[in-house]
Structure 1
Amino acid sequence: MRELIVTERISLDGVMEAPGGESGYRNAGWTVKDIDFDPAAYELKGSEQEEAGALLLGRKSYEAFAPVWPEMEEFSGYNAMPRFVVSTTLTGDDKRWPATIVSSLDEVRALKNGELPGAPDFDGPLLVHGSATLVKALQERGLIDRYHLLVFPVLLGAGKRMFSEADLPAQHLVLEDHAHYSNGIQKLVYRVKK
């Protein structure tokens, strides 16, 4: 079975909305405002590209990334791997950044098990970036195996939160890796105990 890894930049209070400056959120760009750049804090992103076999995205994140990511050199690993988009409304992919449309969480489970008919073959984990609605749904269905978090030293108050607020049983985590950087960012890598 393939692992499913959620990788996010979050505030200390769990907000994940608009870290890079996407419009429409009052604190857009909070990962770069008043945070000194420390390249060591982003080494996790390079290692994820080497480890991952495919990207899994929600529709909104896919639509935001598709016009931008193909042109970004630092995302060459992501651009080369298969992409899957979980959506019940998309009828086709963006030809600039082709993807396979997956219509349900049952199909995500089949993809994890290597049993989704017609899916491109790949080795390595499925990696989820952004995709707030999808991440909550995956958490609620118990489909997440690991969390790769960069926790920023900021409290944002309102905003899209990463974790589900559904009445779920406790999900215990095992800390596999951690680091603290000069700019106050913390790396936390947790495995979900199954």
Structure 2
Amino acid sequence: MARELVWTGFMTLDGIVDSPGGVVEGHPQGGWVLSTPFDEEAFSLKGEEIAETSALMFGRRSYKDFAPEWNGSPDHAAYQDIPKIVVSSSLDEADLHEGWGETRILRSTEDVATEKAGDGGTIFIHGSAELARRLGEAGLIDRYHLLLFPVTLGTGKRFLPTSAHDRQDLRLRDSVAYGNGVVKLVYDVVR
């Protein structure tokens, strides 16, 4: 049975996905997640995902950002032993972060399709918006987990394609609005 591939990410109302954690990530208005009042319940989706995750997938930039922060972090201990997959045409084995569990490199969208066609559980793509957009356009994403934040930034990296692409219908699986204005949206891709 083929593996399910899920993109999970934080997004502003105007579709911006970059620099949710701070300006160090490159956006002058970075840190928009942290400027939203904290509501633990709004982040319960992350715990739900861990229970379902058999592997984590990242693009090169997200891997290089997350690996040093999450490895050994008490807040991310659940991710420690989950196998990681990095999709990159330029990353070398020597660039992998030691001590963060099994990590493999895939080189192309075709490699991801082969991985997805194999046996195993659900693979969650964290961050990595460009990778997720490319895999979505290739018909490889099965589900989207979004935490939509009540802010607009006007500029930044958008998750949604800005060029012509084939229509992709989605079916709402779950949604919850939280007291801090964050909305959880879980969509299945309709095939």
TM-score normalized by structure 2? 0.93
**In 2: Cα distance, 1:21 partner to 1:99 partner:** 26
2:31 to 11, 29, 32: 29
Q: Which residue of 1 aligns with 2:157?
A: 160
The alignment-based identity, stated in percent, is: 43
SS in 1 for 2:80: helix
| Matching of residue 85 in structure 1 with residue 86 in structure 2 | yes
Runs of 4+ that moved beyond 3 A? none
Q: Which residue of 2 aligns with 1:105?
A: 109
**In 2: Cα distance, 1:79 partner to 1:162 partner:** 27
| Matching of residue 114 in structure 1 with residue 115 in structure 2 | no
| Cα drift, residue 96 of structure 1 | 3.7
Q: Give CA deviations for 1:125-168 in whole Å, capped at 9, x if unaligned.
A: 10011112101111110110000000000001101111222311
| Matching of residue 124 in structure 1 with residue 121 in structure 2 | yes
| Matching of residue 136 in structure 1 with residue 141 in structure 2 | no
| Cα drift, residue 76 of structure 1 | 2.0
State how many pairs are aligned: 186
- Where structure 2 has 5 or more consecutive residues not aligned to the other structure, the ranges are none
- Judge conservation of contact 1:140–1:166 (CA < 8 Å) in 2: no
Q: Which residue of 2 aligns with 1:151?
A: 148
TM-score normalized by structure 1? 0.92
- Where structure 1 has 5 or more consecutive residues not aligned to the other structure, the ranges are 116-122
The code of the aligned residue for 2:169 comes to H
Which stretch has the larger CA shift, 17-26 or 182-191?
Answer: 17-26
| Matching of residue 175 in structure 1 with residue 179 in structure 2 | no
| Matching of residue 94 in structure 1 with residue 97 in structure 2 | yes
The code of the aligned residue for 1:69 comes to W
**In 2: Cα distance, 1:143 partner to 1:154 partner:** 29
